[in-house]
Amino acid sequence: MTTTPSPRHRADAGTRAAPRGWLLVGGGAAALAAGLGATAVLLGRRLVAVTVRGTSMEPTYRDGDRVLVRRDSRFTPGQVVVVERPVPGRGWHRPPLARDSAAHAVTGRDWLIKRVAAAPGDPVPHERIPALAHVPETRVPPGRLVLLGDNPAVSFDSRRVGYFPAERVLGAVLRPLPR
Protein backbone atom coordinates (compact mmCIF):
# COMPACT_ATOMS: atom_id res chain seq x y z
CA MET A 1 0.00 0.00 0.00
CA THR A 2 1.25 3.47 -0.63
CA THR A 3 0.85 6.79 0.99
CA THR A 4 1.47 10.18 -0.48
CA PRO A 5 2.03 13.26 1.60
CA SER A 6 0.15 16.25 0.33
CA PRO A 7 -2.66 18.37 1.62
CA ARG A 8 -4.46 15.03 1.24
CA HIS A 9 -1.96 12.27 1.89
CA ARG A 10 -2.08 8.76 0.39
CA ALA A 11 -0.02 5.41 0.84
CA ASP A 12 1.94 2.34 -1.79
CA ALA A 13 1.50 1.16 -5.33
CA GLY A 14 1.58 -1.93 -3.49
CA THR A 15 -0.19 0.33 -0.99
CA ARG A 16 0.56 3.99 -0.59
CA ALA A 17 0.14 6.21 2.39
CA ALA A 18 -0.63 9.87 2.25
CA PRO A 19 0.45 11.78 5.38
CA ARG A 20 -1.47 14.74 6.61
CA GLY A 21 -0.44 17.20 9.30
CA TRP A 22 -2.12 16.51 12.60
CA LEU A 23 -3.89 19.55 13.97
CA LEU A 24 -4.94 20.16 17.54
CA VAL A 25 -7.82 22.58 17.88
CA GLY A 26 -8.51 24.46 21.08
CA GLY A 27 -9.95 27.69 22.41
CA GLY A 28 -10.11 29.79 25.53
CA ALA A 29 -7.92 32.41 27.13
CA ALA A 30 -4.90 33.80 25.33
CA ALA A 31 -2.45 31.90 27.55
CA LEU A 32 -4.34 28.65 26.97
CA ALA A 33 -4.48 29.32 23.23
CA ALA A 34 -0.72 30.01 23.15
CA GLY A 35 -0.06 26.81 25.07
CA LEU A 36 -2.31 24.83 22.77
CA GLY A 37 -0.66 26.42 19.75
CA ALA A 38 2.75 25.28 20.98
CA THR A 39 1.33 21.81 21.63
CA ALA A 40 -0.14 21.69 18.12
CA VAL A 41 3.23 22.58 16.63
CA LEU A 42 4.94 19.87 18.67
CA LEU A 43 2.26 17.31 17.82
CA GLY A 44 2.44 18.33 14.15
CA ARG A 45 6.05 17.22 14.23
CA ARG A 46 5.24 13.92 15.97
CA LEU A 47 1.81 12.83 14.73
CA VAL A 48 0.70 12.53 11.13
CA ALA A 49 -2.64 11.31 9.75
CA VAL A 50 -2.15 9.04 6.73
CA THR A 51 -4.69 7.84 4.18
CA VAL A 52 -4.01 4.41 2.72
CA ARG A 53 -4.14 4.04 -1.07
CA GLY A 54 -3.90 0.58 -2.61
CA THR A 55 -4.33 -3.01 -1.49
CA SER A 56 -0.89 -4.23 -0.37
CA MET A 57 -1.83 -4.15 3.32
CA GLU A 58 -5.20 -5.91 2.98
CA PRO A 59 -6.89 -7.22 5.00
CA THR A 60 -5.32 -5.12 7.79
CA TYR A 61 -5.80 -1.78 6.00
CA ARG A 62 -7.92 -1.10 2.94
CA ASP A 63 -7.85 1.64 0.33
CA GLY A 64 -9.24 4.81 1.93
CA ASP A 65 -8.51 3.80 5.54
CA ARG A 66 -6.85 6.47 7.67
CA VAL A 67 -4.24 5.82 10.33
CA LEU A 68 -2.45 7.91 12.94
CA VAL A 69 1.35 7.69 12.69
CA ARG A 70 3.81 8.62 15.45
CA ARG A 71 7.09 9.91 14.07
CA ASP A 72 9.37 9.19 17.04
CA SER A 73 9.09 5.43 17.15
CA ARG A 74 11.48 2.55 17.49
CA PHE A 75 10.72 -0.28 15.15
CA THR A 76 9.93 -3.84 16.16
CA PRO A 77 8.75 -6.87 14.18
CA GLY A 78 4.99 -6.87 13.67
CA GLN A 79 4.70 -3.08 13.80
CA VAL A 80 3.17 -1.28 10.81
CA VAL A 81 5.18 1.70 9.56
CA VAL A 82 5.01 4.37 6.87
CA VAL A 83 8.24 4.48 4.84
CA GLU A 84 9.40 6.58 1.91
CA ARG A 85 9.11 4.73 -1.39
CA PRO A 86 12.33 4.32 -3.36
CA VAL A 87 12.46 4.88 -7.09
CA PRO A 88 12.68 1.32 -8.49
CA GLY A 89 16.24 0.55 -9.54
CA ARG A 90 17.53 3.94 -8.36
CA GLY A 91 16.87 4.15 -4.63
CA TRP A 92 16.03 7.45 -2.98
CA HIS A 93 16.75 10.69 -4.81
CA ARG A 94 16.20 13.12 -1.92
CA PRO A 95 17.77 13.32 1.51
CA PRO A 96 15.76 11.69 4.31
CA LEU A 97 13.41 13.87 6.35
CA ALA A 98 14.76 15.25 9.59
CA ARG A 99 13.01 13.67 12.59
CA ASP A 100 11.87 17.08 13.82
CA SER A 101 10.65 18.41 10.46
CA ALA A 102 7.12 19.78 10.33
CA ALA A 103 4.31 17.55 9.12
CA HIS A 104 3.91 19.57 5.91
CA ALA A 105 7.49 18.56 4.96
CA VAL A 106 6.23 15.07 4.09
CA THR A 107 4.44 16.38 1.01
CA GLY A 108 6.00 15.80 -2.39
CA ARG A 109 7.30 12.35 -1.47
CA ASP A 110 5.78 8.93 -2.11
CA TRP A 111 5.13 6.77 0.93
CA LEU A 112 4.45 3.09 1.54
CA ILE A 113 2.72 1.45 4.47
CA LYS A 114 4.32 -1.88 5.47
CA ARG A 115 4.80 -4.28 8.35
CA VAL A 116 8.22 -4.69 9.97
CA ALA A 117 9.31 -8.30 9.35
CA ALA A 118 12.80 -7.88 10.85
CA ALA A 119 14.58 -5.05 12.66
CA PRO A 120 18.31 -4.49 13.29
CA GLY A 121 19.83 -7.50 15.04
CA ASP A 122 17.03 -9.88 14.01
CA PRO A 123 17.86 -12.87 11.78
CA VAL A 124 17.76 -12.06 8.07
CA PRO A 125 14.79 -13.96 6.57
CA HIS A 126 16.86 -15.18 3.57
CA GLU A 127 14.38 -17.89 2.57
CA ARG A 128 11.32 -15.57 2.56
CA ILE A 129 12.85 -12.52 0.88
CA PRO A 130 14.23 -13.08 -2.65
CA ALA A 131 16.09 -9.74 -2.66
CA LEU A 132 17.94 -10.80 0.51
CA ALA A 133 18.56 -14.45 -0.44
CA HIS A 134 22.26 -13.90 -1.11
CA VAL A 135 23.26 -11.21 1.40
CA PRO A 136 26.19 -12.45 3.48
CA GLU A 137 25.01 -11.28 6.89
CA THR A 138 22.91 -13.47 9.16
CA ARG A 139 21.48 -10.52 11.16
CA VAL A 140 19.75 -7.39 9.88
CA PRO A 141 22.40 -4.62 9.97
CA PRO A 142 22.03 -1.48 12.11
CA GLY A 143 19.87 1.17 10.47
CA ARG A 144 18.11 -1.31 8.17
CA LEU A 145 14.64 -2.89 8.21
CA VAL A 146 12.92 -5.73 6.38
CA LEU A 147 9.41 -4.52 5.46
CA LEU A 148 6.57 -6.56 3.97
CA GLY A 149 3.02 -5.88 2.83
CA ASP A 150 0.28 -8.12 4.23
CA ASN A 151 -0.91 -8.85 0.66
CA PRO A 152 2.26 -10.19 -1.04
CA ALA A 153 0.65 -10.57 -4.48
CA VAL A 154 0.54 -6.78 -4.93
CA SER A 155 3.09 -5.45 -2.44
CA PHE A 156 6.20 -3.46 -3.38
CA ASP A 157 8.38 -4.27 -0.37
CA SER A 158 11.61 -5.94 0.81
CA ARG A 159 10.90 -8.91 -1.45
CA ARG A 160 11.87 -6.58 -4.32
CA VAL A 161 13.86 -3.81 -2.63
CA GLY A 162 15.83 -5.69 0.01
CA TYR A 163 16.58 -3.65 3.12
CA PHE A 164 14.87 -0.32 3.73
CA PRO A 165 16.91 2.34 5.54
CA ALA A 166 15.35 3.05 8.95
CA GLU A 167 16.01 6.75 8.34
CA ARG A 168 13.41 6.61 5.53
CA VAL A 169 10.61 5.60 7.94
CA LEU A 170 8.16 8.41 8.66
CA GLY A 171 6.87 6.61 11.76
CA ALA A 172 4.86 3.76 13.22
CA VAL A 173 1.09 3.40 12.98
CA LEU A 174 -0.50 4.02 16.37
CA ARG A 175 -4.11 3.30 15.46
CA PRO A 176 -6.74 3.56 12.74
CA LEU A 177 -8.71 6.82 12.45
CA PRO A 178 -12.37 7.17 11.59
CA ARG A 179 -13.04 7.40 7.85
Residue 4 · residue 17 · CB < 8 Å: yes
pLDDT at 162: 95
Residues 6 or more apart in contact with residue 29 via CB below 8 angstroms: none
The pLDDT tens digits for 1-13 are: 555 343 334 444 4
Taking the whole predicted model, whether its pTM rises above 0.85 is answered as no
Provide mean pLDDT across the span 33-46: 40
Q: What is the DSSP string of the chain?
A: -EE--SSSEEETTTEEEEEEE------SSHHHHHHHHHHHHHHHHHEEEEEEEESTTTTTS-TT-EEEEESS----TT-EEEEEPPBTTTB--SPPPPTT--GGGGTTS-EEEEEEEE-TTSBP-TTT-GGGTT-S-SBPPTTEEEEE-SSTTT--SHHHH--EEGGGEEEEEEEEE--
**pLDDT tens per residue across span 96-139:** 877 666 555 667 788 999 999 999 999 999 999 999 999 999 99
The predicted structure's pLDDT at residue 111: 92
Q: Which amino acid is at 9?
A: H
The pair phi, psi for residue 158, each rounded to 5°, is -60, -20
Q: Between the CA atoms of 137, 139, 141 and 147, what dihedral angle is there, to the nearest 10 degrees?
A: 110
* Residue 17 reports pLDDT greater than 90: no
In tens, the pLDDT along 44-96 reads 568 989 999 999 999 999 999 999 999 877 899 999 999 999 987 778 888 88
Q: Is pLDDT larger for residue 41 or for residue 15?
A: 15
**What is the pLDDT at residue 28?**
27
Q: How far is CA 90 from the centre of its chain?
A: 20
| pLDDT tier at 22, thresholds 50, 70, 90 | very low
